[in-house]
Structure 1
Amino acid sequence: MKDSMIKFLDEQQQSFYDISTYIGENPELGHEEFKSSKILAENLAQHGFQVETGVCGLETAFEATYDSGVPGPIIGFMCEYDALPEIGHACGHNLIGTMGIAAGIATSKVLKETGGKVIVFGTPAEETKGGKVTMAEQGLFDQLDAAMMVHPLHSYVKSGTSLAMDAIQFEFFGRPAHAAASPEQGINALDAVIQTFNGINAIRQHVTSDTRIHGIIPEGGKAANVVPEYAVAQFYVRAKTRGYVNDLVKKVVAIAEGAAMMTGARMEMSHYELSYDNMVTNEGLSDVFTQQLEALGVDSSEIMDNRDGSGSLDMGNVSLVCPAIHPYIKICNELYSCHTTEFRDAALSEQGKEAMMLGAKAMALTAYELLTNPDVLEKIKNEFAKSKK
C-alpha cells in the first residue's frame, strides 16, 4: 500500500505543482487568503473529502475530513497559505499548504484497508494572528492522534522547539500642551513609552538567556512643539515555555504601570495579536517521519538534529493538545533565510516543488505507519501523556 501512495503522488505531481504555483503567484495576507484556501479546499473535495469552510469563525479556515467508517487512528495534516507583506510567499507557505493536502489525499487512498480517519486543516494567518491558536482553543485538534506539517528551509532539520510568545500593546493617555509656551500644563504620553522601554532594558540582565523582548513605537506624537497626549508601544515577549512568558509579562506590565505613574499618564494594556505556545516535538513521531524521509532516499547525514527555534509558531499551540511535529525540508542549495525574496523564489522553483512532493510522501508514509502499527502509535501517545504531566 505504501507503493500505491507513492504512485498516486507521482501521478498527481503536476496537479500539485500547479496548485503551489497558483498560490505562490497570488499571495494573500493572513485572514485574506480567499483564493488560496478555495483552491486547496476544492481539491480536497474533488478527492472525496467532506469540507467545512469558515470553521471557528475564521473565514479562510477549513476542516476537510475523509472517514473510512472503520474505527482507527485520526491523523491530522496542517496547511498554511498566508503570505508576507510586499514580498509574498517568502516563507514558502505555498509549498506548505499544497504539501498538506497532497499528504492527506494520498493517505485517504489507503483508509479502506487500514481504517481510521484523515483530517486536513486549513489554518490561516500563521505569520500574524495564527489561526491554529483559535482552532486549538475551540478544540478542533483534541480529536487527533497525531498532527503533522513540514516547513521549507535550506536544509533538512528534524522537528524541534519554538518560543512561546505574547504580543502586548501599551497605550498611554496624557494631556496636550504647547511644548515651549506651557509645557507644565501637559502630560507627556511619549515619556511614558520611553520609560517603559528603559525599564524593560533594565531587566534584561535578570532574565533567562532564551528570553526575547523586542518592541516598536507605532504612535509617538504628531509635532515636536506639542506635548504628545497619546503614544503606543508594542512588544513581543518570548521565552522557551508558556509559564515563563506568563511571568515575564507580569514584569513588563508592572514596568508600564510604573511608567504611567511616573509621568502621570493613564495606561491601557491589550494583546494586539494572539499568543503562541512553545512547540513541544513528539520525538517518537519525529523518529517515524525521519525514517520515512531516509527510506525515500535522503541520506541520514543530511538531516540535522532538532532545531531550537528563536521564533514562534502557532503549531506550538497544536503540540500542547496532541502529538505533533514540525520538521523542515530542503528546497534550495544556498543558505537563503526565510522572509527574503531569494527564499520566495526558491519556493517557486522546480527544486522547491520537488521538495514539496518529497515532504508530502514522507508525511503520507508516516501516517501509514501510525494507521497500521499500533505499537508505534501507543509509544507516541504515551510520550505525549508524559509531556503533559
Structure 2
Amino acid sequence: MKVKIIEQINHYSQDFYRISKFIGENPELGHEEFKSSEILANELKKHNFEVTLGTAGLPTAFEAVFDSGLPGPTIGYMAEYDALPEIGHACGHNLIGTMAAAAGIGLSKVLHECGGKVIVFGTPAEETKGGKVTMAELGLFDQLDVAMMVHPLNRHEKSGKSLAMDAIQFEFFGKSAHAAASPHDGINALDAVIQVFNSMNALRQHIKPDARVHGIIPEGGKAANIVPDYAVAQFYVRANERSYVNELVERLKKIAEGAALATGCAVESSFYEFSYDNMVTNENLSNAFSNSLLALGIEKGDINEKNSGSGSLDMGNVSQVVPSIHPYIQICTEPYACHTNEFREAAMSEKAQESMILGAKAMALTGLDVLTNPELLLQIKQEFKKNLN
C-alpha cells in the first residue's frame, strides 16, 4: 500500500505543482482566500472527496471527506493558504495547502484496502484570526484520531512546541484641547499609552524567560497641536503555557488601569485577534512521521530537533483536542527566515515543489501507519491523554 501511495502522488505531481504555483502567484489575505480554497476544493472533488464549503461559518474554509465505508481511524490533514500583507506567500502557505491536499489524495487511494477515513480541512487565516481556532471551538476536529500538517523551512525539523498567545489591545479615551492655548483643558490619551509601554518595559525584568510581550501604537493622535483624546496600544503576549499567558494578560490589564488612573482617561480592553494555544506535539506520531521521511530517503542526521518555540500557531489549538504534529520540511539550503521576500521566492522554486511532494508522501505514509497499526494508535492516544492531565 505504501508503494501505491507513493506512485499515486507521483502520478498527480504535475497537478500539485500547478496548484501550488497558482496559489503562490495569487496571494490572498486571511478570510479572502477564495481562489486558493476553490482550487484546492476542486482538486479534492476530482478525487471523489465529499467537499463542504464555508465550514464553521468561514467563507473560505472547507472540509473534504473521503470515507472508505469500512471501520477504522480518521486521519486529518490541515491545509493553510493565506498570504501575508505586501509580501505574499512568504511563509510558504501555497506549499502547505497543496501538501495537505496531496497527502489526503494519496492516502485515499488505498483506503478501500485498509478502511478508515481521511479528511482534509481548509483552514483560513492562520497568520491572523486563525480559522483552526474557530473550527476547534466548534468541535470539528473531535472526530479525528490524529491531525497533521507540514510547514516549509530551510531545514528538516521535527514537530515541537509553539507559544500560546493572546492579542490584546487597550483603547484610551481622553479629552481633546489646543495643545498650546489650553492644554490644561485636555486629557491626553497618548500619555496613557506611553505609560503602559513604560510600565510594560519595567515588567519585562520580572517575567519568565520563555515569555514575550511586544506591541505597537496604531493610534496616537492626529496633529501635534491637539491633545489626543483617543489612543490605542496593541500587544502580543506569548509564553510556553496558556496559563502563564493568562497571568501576564491580567497583569497587563492592571498596568492599563493604572495608566488610566494616572492620566484621567477611561480605558477599554479587548482581544483584536484570536488567542492561540501552545502546540503540544504527540511524540509517538512525530516519530512515525520521521520514520516515514527516513523511508523516503532522508538521512537521519538531516532531521533536526525542533528549536524552542518562539512563534505561535493556531495548530496549537488543534493539538489541545486531538493528537497532532507540525513538523517542518526543507525547501532551501540558504538560511532564509520565514516572512521575508527571500523565503517567498524560495517557496516558488523547483526545490520547494519537490519538497512539497516529499512532505505529502511522508504525511500520507504516516496516516497509513496509524490506520494499519493498532498498537501505534494506542500509544498515540495514551500519550495524548497523559499530556492533557
With the shorter chain as reference, the TM-score category is: over 0.9
Q: What are the equivalent positions in structure 2 for 1:1-389 lying under 5 Å apart?
A: 1-389=1-389
What is the CA distance between 1:379 and its match in structure 2?
0.2
Q: Which amino acid aligns with 1:262?
A: A
Identity of aligned residues (%): 69
Residue 235 of structure 2 aligns to which amino acid in structure 1? F
Letter in 1 for 2:26: N
Displacement, 1:225? 1.1
Contact 2:33 2:60 in 1 (8 A): yes
- Alignment partners' CA distance in 2, 1:357 and 1:296: 11
**Equivalent pair of 1:169/1:271 in contact (CA under 8 Å):** yes
Normalising to structure 2: TM-score of the pair? 0.99
Q: Deviations over 1:77-120 (max 9, x none)?
A: 00000001111101000000000000001111111111111000
Provide, for residues 311-342 of structure 1, a one-character-per-residue CA deviation record: whole Å limited to 9, x for no partner: 10000000000000000000001111111111
Counterpart AA for 1:351? K
Deviations 1:101-158 (A, max 9, x none): 0000111111111111100000000011100000000001111110000000000000
Instruction: Indicate conservation of the 8 Å contact 2:164/2:278, yes or no.
Output: yes
**Structure 2: distance between partners of 1:98 and 1:347:** 12
TM-score of the superposed pair, with normalisation by structure 1: 0.99
| Alignment check: 8 A CA contact 1:126 1:132 kept | yes
Q: Number of residue pairs matched?
A: 389
Secondary structure, in 3 states, of the residue corresponding to 1:278? Answer: coil
Q: Which digits, 9 at most, give the CA deviation of each residue in 1:277-304, with x for residues without a partner?
A: 0000000000000000011000000110
Distance across 2 between alignment mates of 1:346 and 1:268: 43
Q: Residues of 1 paired with 2:369 and 2:278: CA distance?
A: 27
Query: What residue identity is the alignment partner of 2:23?
Result: I
Q: Secondary structure at the match of 1:351?
A: helix
User: Aligned with 2:141: secondary structure?
Assistant: coil
How many angstroms does 1:70 deviate by? 1.2
Letter in 1 for 2:303: I
Q: Which letter does structure 2 place at the counterpart of 1:241?
A: E
**Paired residue type of 1:305:** E
Compute the RMSD of aligned alpha carbons: 0.6
Distance 2:118 2:13 in 1: 20
TM superposition shift of 1:260: 0.4
How much does 1:71 deviate? 1.5
Partner of 2:65, secondary structure, is strand
2:255 match: secondary structure: helix
**In the TM superposition, what whole-angstrom CA distance separates every residue of 1:182-216 from its partner, at most 9, and x where no partner exists?**
11111000000000111111111111001100000
**SS of alignment partner, residue 268 of structure 2:** strand
Question: For the residues of structure 2 that align with 1:74 and 1:276, how far apart are their CA atoms?
Answer: 24
Whether contact under 8 Å (2:218, 2:232) holds in the other structure is yes
Q: SS in structure 2 opposite 1:76?
A: strand
Structure 2: distance between partners of 1:229 and 1:22: 46
Counterpart amino acid of residue 168 in structure 2: I
Structure 1 SS opposite 2:142: coil
Q: Report the alpha carbon displacement of residue 180 of structure 1 after superposing the two structures with TM.
A: 1.3
2-structure distance, mates of 1:309, 1:54: 31
Distance 1:388 1:117 in 2: 25
CA contact (8 A) 2:163 2:312 kept: yes
Instruction: For 1:132 and 1:167, locate their aligned partners in 2 and report how far apart those are by CA, in whole Å.
Output: 16
Q: Report the secondary structure of 1:203's partner residue.
A: helix
- Cα distance in structure 2, aligned partners of 1:179 and 1:26: 47
Name structure 1 gaps, 5 residues minimum: none
Instruction: Verify the 8 A CA contact 1:159 1:307 in the aligned structure 2.
Output: no
Distance 2:179 2:26 in 1: 48
Q: Structure 2 unaligned runs (5+)?
A: none
Runs (4+) of structure 1 moved beyond 2 Å? none
Displacement after TM superposition at 1:306 (Å)? 2.3
